[in-house]
Structure 1
Amino acid sequence: MSGFGQSGPLAGEPGHDVTYAAHAGVVALSGTSGGPPAWGPGVPVADLCAAMSALLAAVHERTSTGKGRHLDVSIRDCLSHWLNARLGPFHHAGLTALDDQRAMALERPGYHTFTCVDGTAIAIGAIEDHFFGRLVRTLGLAEWAEPRWSAYRAREEAVDGINAAVAAALATRDATTVLAEPAGAGVPVARVLPPLEAVEASGRTVDHPTAGPLLPFPVAMPS
């Protein structure tokens, strides 16, 4: 495994997670829409992405041939591969300008983080039509409950107004109310948990002698 693979113009160049992501086109889509790129996922996604890809390739090779082989794993290329989740929608919408691509990737109607009146950060994922309808009804946003906003394409064009309305509604409610109302109606809503609290809430930690509580392999497998 290397930053840019064993051949090509960047082979042997020094790098780190953030620079691999910059080369991969991922940093350009990060930050906030209309602002400068900002790399801040908080975890080394390029390194982890490459490790996952390498392991999958190795297991596939062993399963297919019963043998091992040398694998040339480029961290940059592995993370670039994850761009496919965005490249398809960009192509479908005919978006070639970076600002338009960033807006599609970062600004989605009813899909964002918001702040309640008590200062609690809340994440809402109401992209699908049925989720969005439930969200605006429980928040009393009659304007956005009109039939013309029932299709996602229409909401895309009004993303700023929709998210501003949701933000204003949440700014008058405390977290307990928000988590009870939309969540009770079946809308994906969650409090934004700090890392240590999220780890504790998982209930799946194992104690490491030097690193402290860590999370085990995430896939439940029969023993």
Structure 2
Amino acid sequence: MVGHGPLAGVRVVELGGIGPVPFAAMLLADLGAEVIRVHRPADRDARPNPVLDRGRRSLVVDLKNPRGAAVVRALIDTADAVLEGFRPGVAERLGFDPVTLAERNPRLVFGRMTGFGQDGPLAMRAGHDINYIALSGALGAIGRAGQPPTPPLNLVGDFGGGGMLLALGVLAAVLNARASGGGQVVDAAMVEGSGLLMSMIYGRYAQGAWTVNRGENVLDGGAPFYDTYECADGKHMAVGAIEPQFFANLVAVLGVAGRIDLAAQRDPATWPAMRESFAKAFMDATREEWVERFSGTDACVTPVLTMDEVLSHPHNASRKSFFTDSEGAIHPAPAPRFDATPSSRPRPAPAPGRDTRAILSELGHTPEDIESLLGEGVVR
């Protein structure tokens, strides 16, 4: 499959998993890499995620069958990178030891995604996004004052600190392999990735400009000029008026200048009364009325859109930041954008095994070989 984008010509084998590995694979596919996802037989009837699984080719292989493992090893021989999200040691037990694979394909990059990393006391423990970001300090920093930490969906561990960091690591290693001729193992752990996302906050904490108490800081909802407010119609507006000039514009448009001392913006002692004034003002009009009132004004105020509203927002529509597929699913468009090697619209998510015959044929299997593999249940 010919890709369009800056990664055209890069081949990636994705050993099927959930969450961060599919996201890393999606990012690479969006940028033009040929990504081949290896599904397990148990996945044969699974319904693909229309967004997360887009842009791939797919074959179903029984990795526990020696002939199946041989098929995938031959596929990996043709690849620039492999992505896997098993617990430490599982890939080796399945016959996919990165050292042995590198002997066959010296330039191979072996991307490994786990929650806790390939070693350490918790390496073999089960976990999910919430557990990993709990250990990095990220979860403890998110939430309202006096309330328990708020899980930020699974964006910080699985996707930001997991899949995106894995994709970055794999790309860096592929670049190095093309320069040096040698691949390497990339050990991406969500505890460490989500901690890395907290770099600015850890820096602010070191400077004495951040407290570990949730809801008492400028960016965690503690400051009334960086928060969300309900409008008369039950919808919300997001306020991020951090700088003095934006704060002054916010106060002016809200019509609360008589109750707010602009010079005391950063004084936490003024925040409770300030928040009350802002909340009361926003309740005087609907969200769309506030959008109109803030139109053309730099106050860092925007509507809080739901997922079914993003397509129709004028800015998103102008840049085609989202699109719908033939089934009506809303997709975020590939990002970032490239002027010389633009990404194309991703192909639809494949049903598991859709490309099995074609991929086997490309690997040199004869029609008789393919029928034999299918007949024995080695591939589907």
TM-score range, shorter-chain basis? 0.7 to 0.9
Matched, 1:207 2:207: no
CA contact (8 A) 1:133 1:145 kept: no
Residue 116 to residue 129, structure 1, CA distance change in 2 (3 Å) = same
For residues 28-67 of structure 1, what are the alpha-carbon distances to aligned partners after superposition, in whole Å with 9 as ceiling and x for unaligned?
A: 122212212221x334431112111122122223324524
Tell me the TM-score normalized by structure 1: 0.85
Residue 79 to residue 147, structure 1, CA distance change in 2 (3 Å) = closer
Distance (Å, rounded) in 1 between the aligned partners of 2:269 and 2:298: 25
Residue 158 to residue 208, structure 1, CA distance change in 2 (3 Å) = farther
Matched, 1:54 2:160: no
Counterpart residue type for residue 11 of structure 1: A
Greater RCO (Cα-Cα under 8 Å, separation 6 or more): 2
Matched, 1:142 2:257: yes
**CA displacement at 1:19 relative to structure 2:** 1.1
**CA displacement at 1:95 relative to structure 2:** 5.0
Residue 132 of structure 2, aligned match among 10, 15, 20: 20
Residue 9 to residue 106, structure 1, CA distance change in 2 (3 Å) = farther
1:106 aligned residue: 221
Residue 284 of structure 2, aligned match among 167, 172, 178: 172
5+ residue gaps in structure 2? 1-112, 343-380
CA contact (8 A) 1:47 1:75 kept: yes
CA contact (8 A) 2:248 2:262 kept: no
Secondary structure of 1:93 counterpart: coil
Which moves more between the two structures, 190-199 or 113-122?
Answer: 190-199
Distance (Å, rounded) in 2 between the aligned partners of 1:43 and 1:194: 17
For residues 159-199 of structure 1, what are the alpha-carbon distances to aligned partners after superposition, in whole Å with 9 as ceiling and x for unaligned?
A: 22222211111112222331122333222222211112225
Counterpart residue type for residue 333 of structure 2: P
Distance (Å, rounded) in 1 between the aligned partners of 2:154 and 2:190: 15
Distance (Å, rounded) in 1 between the aligned partners of 2:233 and 2:324: 33
CA contact (8 A) 2:157 2:194 kept: yes
Distance (Å, rounded) in 1 between the aligned partners of 2:229 and 2:255: 16
2:333 aligned residue: 216
Residues 52-201 of structure 1: pairs in structure 2 closer than 5 A: 52-66=164-178, 67-93=182-208, 95=210, 98-99=212-213, 102-104=215-217, 105-143=220-258, 146-149=261-264, 153-154=266-267, 156-199=268-311, 201=313
Which moves more between the two structures, 196-205 or 125-134?
Answer: 196-205
Residue 57 to residue 142, structure 1, CA distance change in 2 (3 Å) = same
RMSD of equivalent CA atoms:
2.4
2:367 aligned residue: none
The structure with the larger Rg is 2
Residue 163 to residue 147, structure 1, CA distance change in 2 (3 Å) = closer
Residue 94 to residue 181, structure 1, CA distance change in 2 (3 Å) = closer
Distance (Å, rounded) in 2 between the aligned partners of 1:218 and 1:131: 29
**CA displacement at 1:147 relative to structure 2:** 4.9
Secondary structure of 1:112 counterpart: strand
Tell me the TM-score normalized by structure 2: 0.52
How many residue pairs get aligned? The number is 216
Distance (Å, rounded) in 2 between the aligned partners of 1:164 and 1:6: 49
Counterpart residue type for residue 47 of structure 1: D
